[in-house]
Chain A
Amino acid sequence: MTKKQKKVLIRIILTAVMMVVLMIAYRLLGEEGTDSLGNTIQAKVKEPVWFILYMIPYLTIGYDILKKAFKGILNRQVFDENFLMAIATVGAIAIALVNKSGDYTEAIAVMLFYQTGELFQSYAVGKSRKNISDLMDIRPDSANLETDGDVISVDPDEVSVGSIIVVKPGEKVPIDGVIVSGRSTLNTAALTGESIPREVSEEDEIISGCINMTGVLRIRTTKEFGESTVSKILDLVENSSSKKSRSENFISRFAKYYTPAVCIGALALALIPPLFLLIGGKDPMWGSWVYRALTFLVISCPCALVISIPLSFFAGIGGASRAGILIKGSNYLEAAAKIKTVAMDKTGTMTKGVFEVGSIHKSCIDNDKLLEFAAHAECYSSHPIAKSIQRAYLSGMLWRVDVVTGEAFPVPDEGRKSDDPSRIIDKSRVGSVEEIGGNGVVAEVDGSKIAIGNNKLMDHLGIEFSECHHTGTVVHVAIDGKYSGHIVISDVIKPSAGEAVSRMHRAGVTKTVMLTGDAQNVAEAVASQIGIDEVLSELLPGDKVNAVENLLSEKGKNEVLAFVGDGINDAPVLSRADLGIAMGALGSDAAIEAADIVLMDDDPLKISKVINIARKCMRIVYENIYFAIGIKLLCLVLGAVGIANMWLAIFADVGVMVIAVLNAIRALSVKRL
């Protein structure tokens, strides 16, 4: 509890005690009436004294409200809740004075309950705000800076680029950098939501926010703290609730008109019925109607509504960030609940983007020999395809894709020893290397001339080759001008891709579209394997934007089209779609910049999770809106006809707020979505 809250609590307790004492005293000393013999009993303590006595607890509990109301009037800000409470309680006291009933307790009680409600609200909101912020707090407190062999603990902000910092086991990595010495296992759970340990050793890049599990690491920082991953993420999450959703704006607008409307209603209720009664020649019952009007005023405080909506969004965004999903604004969370079409990239999104040698065909020499030549010919290249050929040669493994699960697994290639330690790429065996315009390489290996590349290269060299009917990228190999077979390299589908697509459908997505620059047969094979509805293949980067625009024009008005990509080369598409989702963003600033929702790891299952989190959050938001407005309207009606008294009104107001706040907190739990 803050100091302010404690002060209010003390005032509440004091007032409650004083009120009880006064009520008992009034019973004993203040009541007039007749005893059993018909004698009039005179009150021992008379009226003005009671009034003054009752004003002590009233002012104790309500002085700040009265002050604020007065200031509000001076600043022409009438119709806020302070004004409402001041009018309601002063009115109640006035009625008591006019009726000579001496019943001032109601005014005090209303003030007391109102303050209790406010206290609870500020406590509950403060508490939940802290809970959520704590959950998201991945900010490191300090960095261990190495200076002249000494290690001192400093503020991460003070560490300059290129410094050496030391991270001990159990500590968070404070700043992005490169490992200078040491090896360890990192836990990225705070960033990605999945605790899959990651092995790191010297020369590896390391991202702030990970927890160092096993060994001591010395890291050379490559960024300042403010530019590091962890700061960027924190910034993003903290600012996310500044981008307000439509429901939040609706509630703010609602609150703006609601309170004045209720005030006018109350005024009408206090004046119109008594006037009619007066004209009709009946008792106008001023007191009763003014009381009902005051009840009306108490109900009209809009805070329950105004607090629970942003709190729900905040909790939803907080919960998502724990699961490794960064949502850049409440408006995006709102949009994600309405996703009906998901367009996605293929490479890197549904597939690993890592190429592996799948098979070797039409080889007129030993498969292993063919790979050996190919790997050596490509030994100077860092192209992903060249890398995959080198990997396949070194490991002796080929990759097979399980048709049912879509899972890729390595299998030993028949006729090759897979665990041959002597298998190395020996660059001294390679002579001259000539690159032929992006189509392939001609290199001299062991004195033989090896040509390795695509159809165009073979045409260029005038070598006859056999077409391949397998899906994937085909690399032909010719030795000394003689065609020797081809290597089929395929991108590996992510193990969870199929499940991800079916979960998306279960989460309400009606259409999934794959956009890819890859060849048609490859794209269609991947799409049919994971259950994608529509494929648009052989697209140039610009075509993807057009394709998304076409999809946008096809969809319904209230439906949202999301594009999922890796955020690196599809930034224009990400921003063109209603909702851009970037995945595998850990360590990629470009992706974090470009997208509206960022998935820290590259698991496609997270796409449906985003939708489910958003839907749960929106459900809670609507529950709160309908519930709070409904109860308020009900109480207003009950108050107008005189069934609800002021006590009930206060209970309704505070109770609604409590339930709405507790409900909002539910949005935080997203584990099982």
Chain B
Amino acid sequence: MKKSYKIEVDCANCANKMEEAAKKTAGVKDAVVNFMALKMNVEFEDGADVDAVMKDVLKNCKKVEDDCEIFF
């Protein structure tokens, strides 16, 4: 399943870091951060609990870039 989320982040490099962090989160098959549109497209693994996974994604993103936000 694929979902798109609005995000807030200040610099392009930080967006790249968020992408890396999101990709490494359990339950996420693939993630792409689009800095220009300020969007994160997440592809979840089958049967993943979207809300729980997104909480982890946000937690992991906060680790690499404190100043970021994902709206879900």
CA distance A23 to B19 in the complex (A): 44
What residues of A have a CB within 8 angstroms of the CB of B67 in the complex? 68
CA distance A278 to B17 in the complex (A): 41
For window 6-38 of chain B, which residues contact chain A by CB distance below 8 Å?
A: 10-13, 16-17, 32, 34-38
Contact call A77/B11, Cβ cutoff below 8 A: no
What residues of B have a CB within 8 angstroms of the CB of A118 in the complex? 10-11
CA distance A673 to B7 in the complex (A): 35
The answer to the question of A11 belonging to the interface, with a C-beta cut-off of 8 Å to chain B, is no
Contact call B12/A303, Cβ cutoff below 8 A: yes
**Closest-CB distance, A277 to chain B (whole angstroms):** 36
Residue of A nearest to B64 (CB): A77
Contact call A306/B37, Cβ cutoff below 8 A: no
The stretch of A235-243, A387-395, A468-476, A577-585 that contacts the partner chain: A235-243
Contact call B66/A68, Cβ cutoff below 8 A: yes
For window 79-127 of chain A, which residues contact chain B by CB distance below 8 Å?
A: 80-81, 118, 121-122, 125
CA distance A307 to B11 in the complex (A): 7
Contact call B36/A71, Cβ cutoff below 8 A: no
Contact call A303/B11, Cβ cutoff below 8 A: yes
Contact call B12/A307, Cβ cutoff below 8 A: yes
**Closest-CB distance, A75 to chain B (whole angstroms):** 4
What residues of A have a CB within 8 angstroms of the CB of B41 in the complex? 239, 242
**Closest-CB distance, A25 to chain B (whole angstroms):** 34
Residues of B participating in the A interface, judged by any CB pair closer than 8 Å: 10-13, 16-17, 32, 34-39, 41, 63-64, 66-67
Contact call B13/A306, Cβ cutoff below 8 A: yes
Partner of A311, one of B16, B36, B63: B36
Partner of B11, one of A132, A238, A306: A306
Interface residue range, chain A: 20 to 34
The answer to the question of A168 belonging to the interface, with a C-beta cut-off of 8 Å to chain B, is no
Residue of A nearest to B10 (CB): A122
Given the known interface contacts A68-B67, A306-B11, the answer about A238 and B39 at a Cβ–Cβ threshold of 8 Å is: yes
Contact call A306/B12, Cβ cutoff below 8 A: yes
List the 6 shortest-distance A-B pairs measured between CB atoms, nearest first.
Answer: A314-B36, A307-B12, A306-B12, A75-B63, A306-B13, A242-B32
What residues of B have a CB within 8 angstroms of the CB of A68 in the complex? 66-67
CA distance A307 to B37 in the complex (A): 13
The answer to the question of A129 belonging to the interface, with a C-beta cut-off of 8 Å to chain B, is yes
CA distance A311 to B36 in the complex (A): 7
Give per-residue flags for A120-155: 1 if the beta carbon is below 8 A from chain B beta carbons, else 0.
Answer: 011001000100110000000000000000000000
Beyond the given pairs A77-B64, A310-B12, 8 more chain A to chain B contacts, judged by CB atoms under 8 angstroms and listed by A's residue number, are A75-B64, A80-B17, A81-B13, A121-B11, A239-B34, A252-B16, A255-B13, A303-B11
CA distance A186 to B11 in the complex (A): 41
Given the known interface contacts A71-B66, A77-B63, the answer about A241 and B36 at a Cβ–Cβ threshold of 8 Å is: yes
Contact call B13/A241, Cβ cutoff below 8 A: no
Contact call A255/B34, Cβ cutoff below 8 A: no
Partner of A129, one of B16, B17, B36: B36
CA distance A125 to B38 in the complex (A): 12
Contact call A302/B13, Cβ cutoff below 8 A: yes
Q: Which of B12, B13, B32, B39 has the most chain A CB within a 10 Å cutoff?
A: B12
Interface CB pairs A-B, < 8 A, 25: A68-B66, A71-B66, A75-B64, A77-B17, A77-B63, A80-B13, A81-B13, A118-B11, A122-B10, A125-B12, A132-B36, A133-B37, A238-B34, A238-B39, A239-B34, A241-B35, A241-B37, A242-B37, A242-B39, A303-B11, A306-B11, A306-B12, A310-B12, A310-B35, A310-B36
CA distance A125 to B16 in the complex (A): 16
**Closest-CB distance, A255 to chain B (whole angstroms):** 6
CA distance A238 to B16 in the complex (A): 18
CA distance A132 to B37 in the complex (A): 10
For window 617-653 of chain A, which residues contact chain B by CB distance below 8 Å?
A: none
What residues of B have a CB within 8 angstroms of the CB of A307 in the complex? 11-13
**Closest-CB distance, A94 to chain B (whole angstroms):** 25
What residues of B have a CB within 8 angstroms of the CB of A302 in the complex? 13
CA distance A72 to B64 in the complex (A): 7
CA distance A306 to B18 in the complex (A): 14
**Closest-CB distance, B71 to chain A (whole angstroms):** 16
For window 218-259 of chain A, which residues contact chain B by CB distance below 8 Å?
A: 238-239, 241-242, 244, 252, 255-256
CA distance A77 to B32 in the complex (A): 21
CA distance A374 to B39 in the complex (A): 60
Contact call B16/A255, Cβ cutoff below 8 A: yes
Q: Which of A121, A252, A311 has the most chain B CB within a 10 Å cutoff?
A: A252
Contact call B37/A238, Cβ cutoff below 8 A: yes
Contact call B36/A306, Cβ cutoff below 8 A: no
**Closest-CB distance, B30 to chain A (whole angstroms):** 11
